[in-house]
Amino acid sequence: MLSGQQEITPWSGTASEEDFDYIKAQTGKVPAVRGFDFMFYTQGARDGRVAERAIEWHRAGGIVHICLHWKTGSTADNQAFSTGKTDFDLGEALTPGTRDHEEFVTEMDMVAGELKKLQKAKVPVIWRPFHEVSGGWFWWGAKGPENFIRAWRFMYERYTEKHGIDNLLWTYNPTAHHGGVEVWHPGHAYVDIVGYDVYPDKGTHPVHAEMYRRFHDFYLGRKPFALTENGGLPDPDEMFRQNAGWAFFSTWTKNFVTDPAVNHPDFLRRVYQHSRVVNRERVAPTLATLAPPSAGKPRRLLFLSPPAPLSRQPSGPQRIEVALLDENSRTVRDVSGEIALTLDPAPPGTPPLGRVKLVRGIALFEDLRPAIVGDAFKLVAWPDPALRSRGVDPQTGATIPIYEKLGAEFVSWPSASVPAESTNAPPAPAAEVDLADYATGRVKNPPARVTARTVDFSAPGSKDTEFVARLTTELLAPADGNYTFFVTADDSGELYLTEPGQPPTASARPLARCPGYSGDKKWDTFPEQTSRPVALRAGQRIRLTGVYRQRSGGHHLVIGWRLPDGTEEKPIPGRRLIHP
């Protein structure tokens, strides 16, 4: 694992070397990866020194990592990259002719000019734009995954095609929120590294193995994964013991590294002096011996996306990605061609799912809307005649079902609605709201504020307060064995399991419950958050109903499970959910 540290940027003070001097004084080591920020290159500001200092860092043997807190809009707020602090609208920015589009392109091109300085100096850059996107707290995540994906690809194509920039390692940086890994994914062709930003409780040093496995499973282990921002450093011994092989960490600035309550000097020394942590003094001679391997001739196709059901009426993006590989399973990026995607078996006249061109050796099929439904179809990728003439054969993928709908049904009610038949009943006090009434269906014809389908088994975000909400879905057990379910909620939540199509009965007991507030990544605040083991058969269909109570502030309901083989999915991903 490479060590890393974000430098202090001018908005935190001008002494950008303070944290590095502190680490050197405490450990005798210098971080391998240095985080820079182009924050002061937007809204008409010009820092003028980030690219130059990054070049100096590279020449000293270090690795360059750059993010962008992109200030936008007509406001002069110092936090103009935050949702609610800027009037900039990503949807408008993607619409030519608008004020926001003009600003979007102008500032994107200005940053490209700084990146070209690094390209000219032959400096490879871990490039992390649009970070923490699925959290929604930055403007680039405030308009949903579709707009973000369009923005990511717009920048990628403008930088690589218009500006010819080829020294960037494009780093996709989701959060654990709102289907962050899967739903916001821009496509394998547009991503080189996957980053995770996480700030654990003071004095703790978790290794975030759960998120690492989520990345690993989605990307089939074919990308490097990194802690692109962190507070408490991960414990290297635990990291390797739990097989959470983060490529590097990058501790955030000032108190996050210098506060002993966050990272005690003794722990800092243990990490930086650990035999499996690589610091700057080891980077330069190592990199000097490496050269990127060149791909060979195209030989076969590979489905990159995990096997997942498809829906005729999707609630979110449905994508399949197919890579062109050489004999050593390296992606062949410099060969053009087209790939078609079909279903087998399919009735005569069934149209193909799509036909797309290869981009950097990957065919990305999007907006898939199958014309048929059924329990078992095989995906088949067909190379065009030119590729077949070079020895690339059609490739058959996994067997998947196609359903009419996928996802979970989400409904919310204002807290004034009461579990009674009469619409004239007085509002129930907040303390008397019984979540079981909403789970069992005793609340009839409620004045719902939100009715939607979700992309995984978690509640969608909103700014609403004082409501009760219910999530309902069905799923198939993938294997025989015992399953354990988990729930985390704000302000409180419950989970019920029943037969397909049947709501919980009035006497039903929750399978798991969160009796009070628990952070959205906190699965062990209360013992009741973890269910008893539930024995299920492979292919058995069950119905899950989650309910939660929200008063004020943030809110969430997230439901996960542990499979018989020990794999944990938190939340349960959308590819497993069948809309009831």
pLDDT of residue 107: 93
- Options 114, 132, 182, 494, the catalytic residue: 132
pLDDT of residue 567: 85
Q: For the structural domain made of 4-288, what CATH number should be given?
A: 3.20.20.80
d(CA 516, CA 263): 29
pLDDT of residue 285: 82
- Options 7, 103, 229, 474, the catalytic residue: 229
DSSP string covering 306-353, please?
PP--EEEE-SS---EEEEEE-TTS-B--S---EEEEEEES--TTPPPS
431-482 residue pLDDT tens = 456 898 889 888 765 555 667 788 889 988 766 788 899 999 999 999 999 9
Contact 415, 467 (CB under 8 A): yes
Q: Beta strands 568-569 and 534-536: pairing type?
A: unpaired
Domain extent listing, the chain: 4-288, 300-404, 408-578
Q: Do domains 4-288 and 408-578 have the same CATH topology?
A: no
CA 483 and chain centroid, separation = 25
pLDDT of residue 445: 58
CATH topology of domain 300-404: Immunoglobulin-like (2.60.40)
Residue 103 designated active-site: no
Q: Beta strands 193-198 and 225-230: pairing type?
A: parallel
Contact 472, 408 (CB under 8 A): yes
Which residues in the chain land under pLDDT 50?
A: 417-431
Shortest CA distance to 199 belongs to which of 143, 137, 242, 266? 137
Q: At 412, which amino acid appears?
A: S
pLDDT of residue 48: 62
d(CA 33, CA 21): 15
pLDDT of residue 446: 56
CA 129 and chain centroid, separation = 14
pLDDT averaged over the chain?
89
Helix (H) or strand (E) holding 497: strand 492-498
- β-partners of residue 356 are 339
pLDDT of residue 359: 92
Q: Which residues contact 559 (CB under 8 A, 6 or more apart)?
A: 457, 458, 471, 485, 486, 487, 495, 544, 546, 571, 572
Shortest CA distance to 205 belongs to which of 244, 172, 171? 244
pLDDT of residue 12: 64
Structure tokens at 546: 């989650």
Q: Which residues contact 497 (CB under 8 A, 6 or more apart)?
A: 485, 511, 534, 542, 543, 544, 545
Residue 132 designated active-site: yes
d(CA 328, CA 344): 28
How many of the other CB atoms lie within 10 Å of CB of 31?
A: 30
Residue the block writes with tokens 């078992």:
376
pLDDT of residue 217: 84
Strand order of the β-sheet with 556-562 is: 534-536, 481-490, 556-562, 568-569
For domain 408-578, the CATH architecture is Sandwich (2.60)
pLDDT of residue 419: 44
What are the C-alpha distances in Å from 524 to residues 63, 513, 519, 546, 556? 37, 11, 10, 18, 15
Q: At what angle do helices 99-120 and 50-59 cross, to 10 degrees?
A: 30
